[in-house]
Structures are given as C-alpha cells and as structure tokens.
Amino acid sequence: MKKFAALLTALALALSLAACGPQNPAPAASSTPPVSSSQSNPAPQQPETPSVYMDIPQEYRSWDENGKNINFERLTTAENGIVAALRYEPAQIGVDIMKKGGNAVDAAVATALALTVSMPQMCGVAGGGFMTFYNAETKETIFLSFRETAPMFQTAELWVQDNEGNVIGEHNMYGGLSVGVPGEVAGLYRALEEYGTMEWKDIIQPSIDLAREGYLVTPELYQWIEYAYATMTSNAQLSEIYLDENGMVKPVNSVIKNEYMAKALETIRDKGPDGFYKGAMADAMIKAVQSAGGVMTQADLDGYQPWEEPAVSGTYRGYTIASSASPSSGGTFIVETLNILENLPVYDFDTIEYWHQLAEVQKMVWADRGQYMGDTRFVDVPIDGIISKEYAKTLADKVDMTKTQDFSYGNPWDYETESQNTTSFSVADKAGNMVSITHTINGVWGSRVYVDDYGFFMNNQLGDFVVGSGFSNSVEPGKCPLSSMSPTVVLDPDGKPFMTCGAPGGIFIYPGVCQVILNAIDHKMNIHDALNTPRIAAMGPAIRYDVEMRPEMLEQLEALGHTSLSEYPISMPTGIMYMPDGTLQGSAELTGTMGAEFSDGVAVGY
C-alpha cells in the first residue's frame, strides 16, 4: 500500500507523468490555489451507473459500489490481439477496431484518439507524441515523430529570469509562452494513411461518440480534476464539463460529457488535419495562445509536419530492441543502458548487488544524456557513439561493486560512425504487428490554456526545453524539445516478436521501460510482474525509488554510499508479451497517481 509520502510526491510528479523531457516541478501554490475541504475526498458513487457511450465492466473498474478506489486483475491473455492502455474505454475501442478487420495501426490510432477524450489531463489533440511500429509482414520497424515544435517567434529571451535563474511567472510552464505547435492530429492521420487499412472517419467516430455520450469519472480522474479545481472554476465551459451543478468535482461513477470536444472531432473527421490546422479551430487556438501571452501564429500551424526516422536499435543478450529516435533521448539511452549491463553480471532481482549495479550504470547514462542530447536537426549528437558496444565496455569497466561513485559524461565521439513523453499504450496482434505510442500535452492539463468552444487544452511542451541559450536543448524556432518518451518493441533472438511496451513519467520513462525489458529478459517475469515490480531512477547522486522498495534494501544502498534516496513513482508502463504457445499477454501498471492508490490501467483482448 502506498505511504502518505507517496501521495505528496505524486504532486511533484503531476507535470512529469505526462511529460517527455526534463523534470518539471508541480505548479506553485499561486498557480493552483488549494481547494476547499469539501473537495478533499471523492464523493460516494451514485447508486446506479448512468448512461454512457461505453460502460466499464465490473472486472475493469478501479472502484467499488461506494466509490472507493480498489485493485483488480490486470493480466489478460488473448489469442488474436490486445490493447493495453491506462483507461478501459480507449483499450476496448482499439480492440473493437481489430475485431472489425483493422490492423494494429488502425487500433492504435483509434485508441490514441479515444485517450485524448477520456484522459484530457494527460493528452489531447493539441499535444504530440511518438509511435514505434513493427510491421510483421515487412519485418521493418518504423519510428514516427509527431512531437510539438517551437513557434517561429519563440526565443529563449522571452522567458525572463530572476536573479536566481527562475523564469518569472513560470511562463515556460504555464500560459501562451509554454505552448508548442501541436503534432497529434497530423501524426495520427499520417500513421493511418501510411500504415493503416481503415478510413479516418471510421477510426475517429468512436471518440466523437465517447465525448458526446460521456465517460465515467474514476477515482484517479476525480483526483486530477480536483487538482486543477481553480482552473475548472475559471471558465464557464470547463465548469460545465467537469463540475456538477453545485460547482463541485463530479463524483466517482458520474458522467463527463464534452460536446465541445465532440464537435471539434467532427470537424477533424470531415476535414482531416485541415479541420484542425486551418479555419475556425486554428483561429480559436491562436487566439487562446496569444491572449495568454504566446506567439504561435497561423504560419506555425501551416508549417507543421510529422516525420519519420529510423528507430534507435540495439541488441541485448540476443534480443533486438527498437525504440524512439531524436528528439527523444529514450531509445538512445535504453540501448546504452542495456549495452553496459550486457558486460556485467546478472544478479538476482531485488538484491543489493542488482540495485547498486543498476544505479551506477544509470548515473553514467544520465551524465551522457545531460551533456549530449537535443533535436538532431539542430545540434550534432553522437548517437552512434552513445549506442556503441565498444563505448559501453569502457563504461562497464568503471562500475565498482563496493561503493558508489560520481560520474561525469563520457566521450562517445570517439566511437561515432558516419551514419547517423503523457500517456502510453501498446497494441499487438496475432500476426506479430506491434505498436507502441506515447503521447502527451506535457504537464497535467498542459499549459492551462483552454480553447473555448472546442473542449481541449493546449500543451505546455516548451517547458521541456532548458531555460537559457547555448545548450543542446535550448529553445529555437522550429525545434523540438528533448523528450524521454520511449515507445519500444522487442524481438527475440530468432527475430520473432517478443514484447512491446511504453510508459508516461517524464524523465523517468526510459529508466522505467528499460527495467521492464530487463525484468522480461534477464528475470523471466511475465508481463504483469515485469511492469509492477520495484523500479529505480538514478540521476547523479539522487536515486528515486517507487513505493514497493523494501526498507532493508534502502539501508544496504545507503551503506554503499547512496545517500540521496527518495520515494517517488517512477513511471506507469503498459505492455504486451508474446507467449511460447502463440497467445498474447498484456497488462498495465497498477499503482495510481495523485490520491488514487490504484490506476485505471487495463489490458483488453479478444
């Protein structure tokens, strides 16, 4: 069970759970005033479930008849296909698409769109993300980036700093100057056009119906609405959508209907990306951003294009790992971590040797990330050197099992060759097609800039840039901020599909996903255990650990010199694994966010 401290640290995680780059602090008290004590606990569930587009079956509900947050069985086995996501409705919508004959990409795009409706605090049509897709027919892995970009008039100087280097007014995190040019709609449309089989109108229609007919308030969603209560009361439309007739957060098991979002999605259904990037909706976004102090223009929206790059690929003990490329650091540093560990002993899971060795390796990788990574379209990054097996050997030699050490960044340039964030979900089918998408509006409820009459928030993705000029990850017009999002697929030593996984969690994404892979390969865990065992993230001297870490293990780590230890949720992964008998197993992180002990994450199959 979570400790009270975990509830407090979850507030700090609020922005980074959906985020993709550098760690973001929780909003200052002045940004989100505390709510009244009457809002401190979810109201009891209504006696009967009201009418919604899609009811959540009892076996997938994270609450009981009294509205109390409860756990449920998340491990799912299926023969034909599975969608693992952090809410039931999007997962079921994805499965329904596959039942109708759609492929894994069709299902993934439908799931992503449904998540923008039912998890508006984490993702949205005004956000962006990454997709990694393994095509079982061609044996190719595709990486598609639809990450947000900086507007053409955005510069580092627009974020005015005080004498201590803090951005005055937190304008890099809230308001118009935190908003990047959205990529979600363009990216999902391109994914469907190039790799799907179904029509856009048929893929998007379930999300329109979900927005119009409604979805249920879960204990987790209740907490996130309560967290942004001041924002919800500041706008009549937001109050209409998220609050009850008394101006209070709608209780668990009540319905949220967003007719404004339904109409926005209908426009996107009928006009495709042009319905979002041009016309009345584009005008409304520009007005909202500029009224909040931002500089985004129609030219920025006109110029946005998603793009493909080769996935970052490596091997680990014969398994092939393919994950996110630039502007994400995720795939690169998953591969670097695994390369180093491949040179070291495999210790039993949850022993002091296991945690100490992993922490030391993570610290070396963290140092390289901070020094080198940025958008490779703007800065030179020695990616081939970072993921070099030879470079990894030099780092592995530095690990001392008797003590902790401080590590500076290495020199991967010597190994360079001439070639060159959030909710997350996974889709896999019987044929071996695997899709992992991680998408986000960055901070929870994004920039807090709401687009009137269209039912969604703008992202605050520019908060993933560092503050100031001259860094690899400094803001520049048209540049993508650094990300840690790591949608990943894994093939077994025979080249057959083995696993797909991904996670939200900001800078903790790639360490979390990497440990899921280690759990599955080195420790032979099933997918549920691989997703739900203790995890750590070591960043320099600081080590974050999630709530399941044993106290005696923490004492032993401190004895080795790991003195900066703190409890902190690491990530919320979902994943799907192929079993030897040809069936699929899927699951999701069971630990909730904010005040919710258990998450809404599910795996739905058929």
Q: Nearest Cα to 394, choosing from 409, 404, 406?
A: 409
Q: Nearest Cα to 143, choosing from 378, 288, 307?
A: 307
Is the model's pLDDT at 33 over the cut of 60?
no
Residue 5 is predicted with a pLDDT of: 39
Residue 50 is predicted with a pLDDT of: 76
313-337 exposure pattern, b = at least 16 Cβ within 10 A, e = fewer: bbebeebbbbbbbbbbbbbbbbbbb
For residues 53 and 55, what is the distance between their CA atoms, to the nearest angstrom?
A: 7
Q: Each residue of 323-367: pLDDT tens digit?
A: 999 888 899 999 999 999 999 999 999 999 999 999 999 999 999
Q: Each residue of 110-122: pLDDT tens digit?
A: 999 999 999 999 9
**Which three-class secondary structure state does DSSP give residue 142?**
strand
Is the model's pLDDT at 4 over the cut of 70?
no
3-state secondary structure 405-469: CCCCCCCHHHHCCCCCCCEEEEEEECCCCEEEEEEECCCCCCCCCEECCCCEECCCHHHHCECCC
* Average confidence (pLDDT) over 426-445: 96
Q: Each residue of 298-324: pLDDT tens digit?
A: 999 999 999 998 999 999 999 999 999
- Range in 340-349, 358-367, 453-462, 537-546 with the lowest mean pLDDT: 537-546
Q: Which burial class, exposed, middle or buried, applies to 348 when counting CB atoms under 10 A from its CB (0-12, 13-18, 19+)?
A: exposed
* The pair of three-digit structure tokens given for residue 411, joined into one six-digit string: 């020199």
CA-atom Rg of the chain in angstroms: 22
382 cis-preceded (ω within 30 degrees of 0): no
Question: How far, in whole angstroms, is CA 601 from its chain's centroid?
Answer: 13
536-539 vs 542-545, strand pairing mode: antiparallel
For residues 371 and 498, what is the distance between their CA atoms, to the nearest angstrom?
A: 33
Is the model's pLDDT at 20 over the cut of 80?
no
Residue 416 is predicted with a pLDDT of: 57
**DSSP H or E segment with residue 566:** strand 564-567
* Average confidence (pLDDT) over 16-45: 38
For residues 375 and 474, what is the distance between their CA atoms, to the nearest angstrom?
A: 10
* Average confidence (pLDDT) over 162-183: 95
Q: Catalytic residues, which ones? A: 422
For residues 1 and 223, what is the distance between their CA atoms, to the nearest angstrom?
A: 18
Residue 49 is predicted with a pLDDT of: 65
Cβ-contact 366, 336 below 8 angstroms: no
- Report in angstroms the alpha-carbon separations of 194 from 133, 325, 388, 542: 12, 19, 32, 43
Give me the chain's average pLDDT, please.
90
DSSP string, 181-213: BP-HHHHHHHHHHHH--S-HHHHHHHHHHHHHH
Owner of token pair 């997962």: 91
Q: Each residue of 222-254: pLDDT tens digit?
A: 999 999 999 999 999 999 999 999 999 999 999
For residues 425 and 501, what is the distance between their CA atoms, to the nearest angstrom?
A: 7
Cβ-contact 173, 460 below 8 angstroms: yes
Is the model's pLDDT at 21 over the cut of 70?
no
Amino acid occupying residue 177: L
- Report in angstroms the alpha-carbon separations of 212 from 54, 220, 451: 11, 21, 17
Cβ-contact 288, 238 below 8 angstroms: no
Percent of the chain with pLDDT over 90: 79
**Which three-class secondary structure state does DSSP give residue 4?**
helix
- Give Cβ neighbours of residue 183 (< 8 Å, ≥ 6 apart): 127, 128, 129, 145, 146, 147, 148, 149, 304, 306
Residue 415 is predicted with a pLDDT of: 67
- Give Cβ neighbours of residue 601 (< 8 Å, ≥ 6 apart): 74, 84, 85, 86, 87, 572, 574, 587, 588, 589, 590
* Average confidence (pLDDT) over 436-440: 96
> What secondary structure letter does DSSP report for 561?
T
* Residue-range domains of the chain with CATH: 4-68+93-308+443-464 (no CATH), 310-422+485-605 (3.60.20.40)
For residues 103 and 330, what is the distance between their CA atoms, to the nearest angstrom?
A: 26
Residue 17 is predicted with a pLDDT of: 40
Residue 569 is predicted with a pLDDT of: 79
Cβ-contact 532, 575 below 8 angstroms: no
For residues 234 and 238, what is the distance between their CA atoms, to the nearest angstrom?
A: 8
Cβ-contact 157, 165 below 8 angstroms: no
- Report in angstroms the alpha-carbon separations of 605 from 75, 108, 160, 214, 526: 10, 13, 50, 23, 16
For residues 118 and 44, what is the distance between their CA atoms, to the nearest angstrom?
A: 21
Which runs of E-coded beta strand occur in 291-372? Answer: 307-310, 312-316, 319-323
